[in-house]
Amino acid sequence: MSEFLRSWLVLVVFGGLAVAVVGTFLGLGSLLRPQRATEQKVMNYESGVDPQGDRWSQSNIRYYVFALMFVLFDVEVVFIFPWAARLEAYGMFGLVEMAIFIFILALGLFYAWRKRLLRWI
Amino acid sequence: MFAQAETVATPEVLWWALVPLLVLAGAAVLLLTVASLVRRLPEWLPAAWTIVAGLAVLVSVVPLWNEVQDDGARSFLAGAVGIDGSTLFVTALLAVAVVATALLSRAYLTREDLPGVELYVLLLLSAAGGVVMASANDLIVLFLGLELLSIAVYVMAALHLRRIQSQEAALKYFVLGAFASAFLLYGIALVYGATGATGLARIAGYLSTTILLEDGMLMAGFGLLLVGLGFKVAAVPFHAWAPDVYQGAPTPVVAWMAAGVKAAGFAALLRVFVLTFGSWSGEWQPAVWGLAILTVLGGSVVAVVQTDVKRMLAYSSIAHAGFLLVGVQAASDRGTAAVLTYLGVYTLLACGSFAVVTVVGGAGDDRHGIDAYRGLGARRPWLAGAFAVLLLGQAGVPFTAGFVAKFGVIAAATEGHSYALAGIAMVSAAVAAFVYLRILVALYMEDRHLEDDDEAGAVEVDPAPWGPRIVITVSVALVLVLGVVPGPLVDLAKDAVPVLVGG
Amino acid sequence: MSVLASASPTFPVLPALILTPLFGALLVVLGPRRRPELLKLTAVLATVATGALSLWVLLAFDAGGEGFQFASRHAWIGELGISWLFGVDGISLFLIVLTGILFPIAILATDPGHDSRAYYAWMLVLEGGVMGVFASLDLVMFFLCFEIVLVPMYFLIGRWGHGNRTYAATKFFLYTMAGSALMLVGIVSLAFLHADATGGALTFDLVAIAEAQSIATETARWLFLAFALAFAVKVPIFPLHTWLPDAHTEAPTAGSVILAGVLLKLGTYGFLRFGLYLFPEATHHFAPVFLVLGVVGIVYGAVVATMQKDLKRLVAYSSVAHLGFIILGTFALNTEGIEGGLLQMVNHGISTGALFLLVGMIYERRRTRQIDELGGLQKSAPLLAGVFMVVMLSSIGLPGLNGFVGEFLVLVGTFNAHRWYAVVAAGGVVLAALYLLWAYQRVFHGPAEGDNADMPDLCLREGLVLAPLLALIVVLGVYPKPVIERMEPAVDALVEHIERHVDGFEEPTSRMGIDISPDGPLDGPADSEEGH
């Protein structure tokens, strides 16, 4: 076995150990504890509040657009940080590059706005 | 702690070599800007804009081609992007496919009463992604291009808002495509792990100079890359998405998928496997060999039992992918040239065929059963005649461009002594011919039944708008002309063999 | 190559043979859709012009000349070494002439009834393709023409055929296409192997490859099988023949005439040109297989034909038997056998073509081809019956008519090479007499009842169409010398080629002293000595 694969062996052993330990404790627990199910007991745990409605409740589709756009712009920020950290080093080149980048991003937002996606209908 | 004001060396950029990409991406951004600013765009404008952009790319390729032929291939952007004959050849094919798709889309959107700008913006972006793939000199850039290409196509597949099949197609394509991207990315990671580079030239250099004692990771990387790209080009057994997506997606988009996406996918396959992993061809050729056999046979045999013409063409496009893989498998210059020739021919055949399907599909885009084609030869002789030529071309009948394409890959396979593969490919071509014959039978030989119950059986086909008409006419003419005078295309493809330039 | 050098006229007559019908097809396509008579005139003129060209080739052909005449070469795909390369020798000459003669007759004989424009266009394309097959000396060009022939024939059967035409057309197309699929691989492999072996550039030139014989024996056998499959389907040889009865029966009359007269010869011609010439050793090696299949075809075709209820199907199965003779002669690998096979190709084209025309004429009058429903036609149509009788006797191989010469030579050749095959095959001749005479008796003799009683006789047009075929039947039967004379040098060269390239093979010549050379006993033993 190569050195490369051997170093991964640690991870495999570690992971296996973790699964084994947790499995053992949960398994033992389920064997030892008394099992008298009532409706209250099998009910889903929702922070102590009584659960309402179906488990597969739909959230409003209108959130979807906002969620999507949030994720989009959130991720793009990742590209802006490194540039900001080395602003001077990149100089004019970086500035133009980032301007184009932000322009395209803004264009997307602008398009969404004109398509009336930002309005809560 | 503060950074010194030393400047970072920015990579050299050959702007002239980026013109096709910039035209496509710029046209997309501009079109989106204009569409956002102006409330009511004239309906013809986005289509015309896209066609102009496509033609501009086509024109810009010519001086670049001459430049590359005279001074050789280049690489720039720190060796991440290259320009060579194959880049420009595939770029030109993509431009042709963009123009054809735009011509079809205009007629389609009007007929289906759908809002228009997005399709063209996405088409241009997708084509830009294809160009990036064709010019990628680095696996990461290749992946970027692939994603740009694919994500745009996912959305395009869903653009028929009122057809549930269109939504279904988009979702299937998206989920499976995302899977494929993950495979590809993992493959890139493994190859990087094995060779310590993502640049194609450096990988190639490493592989041809180094003897690996442990090649397990590299092999896994090859495998995963093959799976990822195999998904994109719809090679059996990674083809499951293709029939459903082709059937459901708007027909002009299908033309783009068949012509554009396939061309870009094979450009990537050629660059990565034939070019970069060329020195290890003994290791991956058997895999491609198997893939090619499965794909030609699977595509042809399953196509036989379809009753929906769009599905038939989907399976036949799988079979064509198999033929292209036969060329890839040869792993030689002749094989590469054959694949490029085949791509050129298939671009024409796919655009033309799906143009006919667009016309026959009628309002609602759902008359795709073989019944819709029954007796078309009597009622619409020119349309049926054009479709017949295109189908015979797809069957590879002599004196159509399809034969030249098939001949090229078969020649490449036999040169590489893959006689069994060549034989199986030809036999399955004969099986696939049955599919095209079934459509021909419907077009020409079942018209007598209709005379009895004309009202019940005959589906009236609206006259073709000028957009599809241009696409059909040009593709039929070229299929015939290239069938009789194939020299120019074959020579171009021969000069378009890709070259790796280190960076 | 010296083989190509002889007699190159200034006028490129062979390309013209191919292009004239294609040009005619273009005219027809552009012609007026609602004027079928004009379209027919165009088609007839184009085919007659082609026929005249083919006759000119026949007259200008140098009977004693060796190698290919009228050769011409134009590059097609230079990169792959493919070129338009044409030439004629004694083997292809008469097939070209046969094609040139049969097409105008087939077009004149019948009208399509509907979609005339497409019909004539396809007929003309078909003629161009067939001429291309017989004239091509480049392997790829040959394959292109061999394959393109399928398309017009497919449409002719499928659009203008009878009842089960779609099935028959599809079967025909798929059988033939699947058969020739491997031939393309064979052609390309052959060219690459030849280029590797000789170190020269890639070429698909038949003569260059055949004369070099650079392929290893074992490989050549495999390649031969790839070619042979394509030809065996096209001929068709016994187990691969099932497309033929369907295609012949369902095709329109003109389609049947061309199919039987010309298209089947593509396969037998292919065996001669691309089997014997390209792969002499492999042909010799596999000859027993084909001899057996040829004999089986003769007997099987005859037996099945005897049992047919449909007159057209009967003629179709008789083709299977006749083609068995051609295969037998070809694989006897001696001059008599090959010449007999060649003659039989021409004769079968003429007499079976004429038989299909006659069956078509009966069908047009009576709307049935069932032998049961016909009867006593001799009384209502004596002329038709007479013509039918002559053609049928020629098909049986009655001495004095053309069928005899070919079959006789085939039997002589086979007898010299493989005695027992000839004995069994001779039985096939008897069976041919049985099924054809019996059919004739049931159709033309006996009392005429119902519609049979007042069936009109041949009209002038039909008579004129049949006249040249009848003339050929008699002339070729009585005086075949000019034909054999022109075949002889090419066939001799072919046999010599086989002898040269097959170790220990010597032409199985007549041990019984039958000399069938043109100066031989066929036209009197007296002048045979004086000639030399």
CA dihedral C414, C415, C418, C423 (to 10 degrees): 100
**Closest alpha carbon within chain B to A3:** B214
Number of domains chain C is built from: 1
Instruction: Give me the mean pLDDT over the B409-423 stretch.
Output: 90
The shortest CB-CB distance from C178 to any of B411, B427, B437 is to B427
Q: How much is the average pLDDT of C464-486? A: 87
Question: C359 lies in a domain?
Answer: yes
Contact (CB, 8 A) for C448 and C362: no
Residues C188, B392: C-beta atoms closer than 8 Å: no
B35-42 LR contacts (CB < 8 Å, sep 24+): B35/A111, B35/B117, B35/B121, B36/A107, B36/A110, B36/A111, B36/A114, B37/A114, B41/B116, B41/B117
Query: Which pair of tokens denotes residue B338?
Result: 């054959």
| Residue B503 pLDDT | 54
Helices and strands, counts by H and E, chain B: 22, 2
Question: Which of B348, B473, B474, B477 has its CA nearest to residue B405?
Answer: B348
Q: Is the peptide bond before B237 cis (omega within 30 degrees of 0)?
A: yes
Q: What is the pLDDT of residues B446-482, one digit of tens each?
A: 755 444 444 444 556 777 788 899 999 999 999 999 9
Q: Residue B430: which of C143, C178, C226 has the nearest Cβ?
A: C178
Tell me the C-alpha distance between B56 and B52, whole Å: 6
Substitution target in A4, A107, A111 with the highest count of B β-carbons within 10 Å is A111
Which pLDDT score, from 0 to 100, does residue C10 have? 63
Chains C and A touch (3+ CB pairs under 8 A): no
Are B3 and A86 in contact (CB < 8 Å)? yes
At C1 the pLDDT is: 38
Chain mean pLDDT for chain B = 88
Instruction: State the number of CA atoms in the 13 A half-sphere of C146 facing the CB.
Output: 32
Q: B427 and chain C: CB distance < 8 Å anywhere?
A: yes
pLDDT digits (tens, 9 = 90+) for C261-289: 888 889 999 998 888 888 888 888 898 89
- Residue C328 near residue C291, CB atoms below 8 Å: yes
pLDDT digits (tens, 9 = 90+) for B15-67: 888 999 999 999 999 999 998 888 788 888 899 999 999 999 999 999 999 98
Q: Is the residue at C476 inside a domain?
A: yes
Please tell me the predicted confidence (pLDDT) of residue A116: 81
Q: Does the pLDDT at position C468 exceed 50?
A: yes
Q: Note whether residue C53 is domain-resident.
A: no
pLDDT tens digits, one per residue of C109-133: 888 877 888 888 888 999 999 999 9
β-pairing verdict for C82-88 and B81-83 = unpaired
Asked if B420 reaches chain C (Cβ–Cβ under 8 Å), the answer is no
pLDDT at residue C153 is higher than 50? yes
Whether C182 is in a domain gets the answer no
Average pLDDT over residues A8-21: 92
Local structure of residue B372 (DSSP, 8 states): G
> Would an 8 Å CB–CB cutoff place B414 in contact with chain C?
yes
Q: How far is C192 from chain B (nearest CA, A)?
A: 6
A111 at interface of B, judged by CB pairs closer than 8 A: yes
Q: Are C325 and C386 within 8 A, CB to CB?
A: no
Cis peptide bond N-terminal to C236, omega within 30: yes
Longest dimension (CA), chain B: 90
Going by pLDDT thresholds of 50, 70 and 90, the confidence category of residue B175 is very high
How many beta-carbon pairs below 8 A join chains B and C?
88
pLDDT for res A49: 79
Q: Which of residues 131-170 of C touch B (CB under 8 A)?
A: 140, 143-145, 147-148, 150-151, 154-155, 158-159, 165-166, 169-170
B403 touches chain C (CB under 8 A): yes
For the segment C132-160, the average pLDDT, to the nearest whole number, is 89
What are the helix (H) ranges across B331-453? 333-361, 376-379, 381-395, 401-415, 419-440, 447-452
Q: Check: CB of residue C299 under 8 Å from CB of residue C428.
A: yes
B95-109, B121-135, B416-430, C358-372: lowest mean pLDDT where? Answer: C358-372
- In terms of CA atoms, which chain B residue is nearest residue A91? B7
Task: Kindly report the nearest CA distance between residue C166 and chain B, in angstroms.
Answer: 7
Q: B158-168 pLDDT, tens per residue?
A: 988 888 888 99
Please state, as a whole number, how many other Cβ atoms lie within 10 Å of the Cβ of residue B40: 5
Domains of chain A: 62-114 (1.20.58.1610)
What ipTM is given for this predicted complex? 0.86
Q: Check whether C409 has a pLDDT greater than 70.
A: yes
For B33, the closest of A93, A94, A107 (CB atoms) is A107
How do residues C179-203 score in pLDDT, each as one tens digit? 888 898 999 998 888 888 888 788 8
Is C30 touching B (CB cutoff 8 A)? no
Is B257 within 8 Å of B246 (Cβ atoms)?
A: yes
Nearest to B36 among A91, A104, A110 (CB): A110
Range C364-385 average pLDDT: 82
Please report whether residue C470 resides in a domain.
yes
Q: Which domain holds residue C344?
A: 293-510
CA-to-CA separations, B202 to A45, B78, B137, B501, C192, in angstroms, rounded: 55, 12, 10, 9, 34
pLDDT, tens digit, for every residue of A44-99? Answer: 777 777 777 777 777 777 788 888 888 888 888 888 888 888 888 888 888 888 89
Show residues of chain B in contact with C147, CB under 8 Å.
397-398, 403
pLDDT tens-digit series, residues B340-392: 999 999 999 999 999 999 998 887 777 888 888 888 888 888 899 999 999 99
Residue C346 falls inside a structural domain:
yes
CA nearest B32 in A: which residue?
A111
**pLDDT the model gives residue B4:** 52
The stretch C349-353 carries a mean pLDDT of 90
- Is pLDDT of B424 > 60? yes
Is the pLDDT at B282 greater than 90? The verdict is no
* Residue B367: DSSP 8-state: -
Of C158, C159, C185, the CB nearest to B422: C185
pLDDT for residue A72 = 80
Q: Give me the helices (H) in chain A, please.
A: 3-32, 39-42, 62-85, 87-114
Mutation for testing the C interface, residue in B445, B449, B451, B495 having most C CBs under 10 Å: B445
Q: Is residue C387 domain-resident?
A: yes
Residue C89 lies in a domain: no
3-class state of residue A50 by DSSP:
coil
pLDDT for A83 equals 87
Instruction: For residues B435 and B307, give the distance between their C-alpha atoms in angstroms, rounded to a whole number.
Output: 10
Cα distances (Å, whole numbers) of residue C444 to A19, C374, C388, C448 = 95, 8, 9, 9
A90 touches chain B (CB under 8 A): yes
The verdict on a CB contact (< 8 Å) between A107 and B10 is no
Q: Which residue of B has its CA nearest to C75?
A: B487
Residues in chain B: 503
Rounded CA-CA distance C174/C71 in Å is: 33
Chain C segment 185-204 residues within 8 A of B by beta carbon are 185, 188-189, 192
Which single residue is written with the structure tokens 């972006």?
A: B125
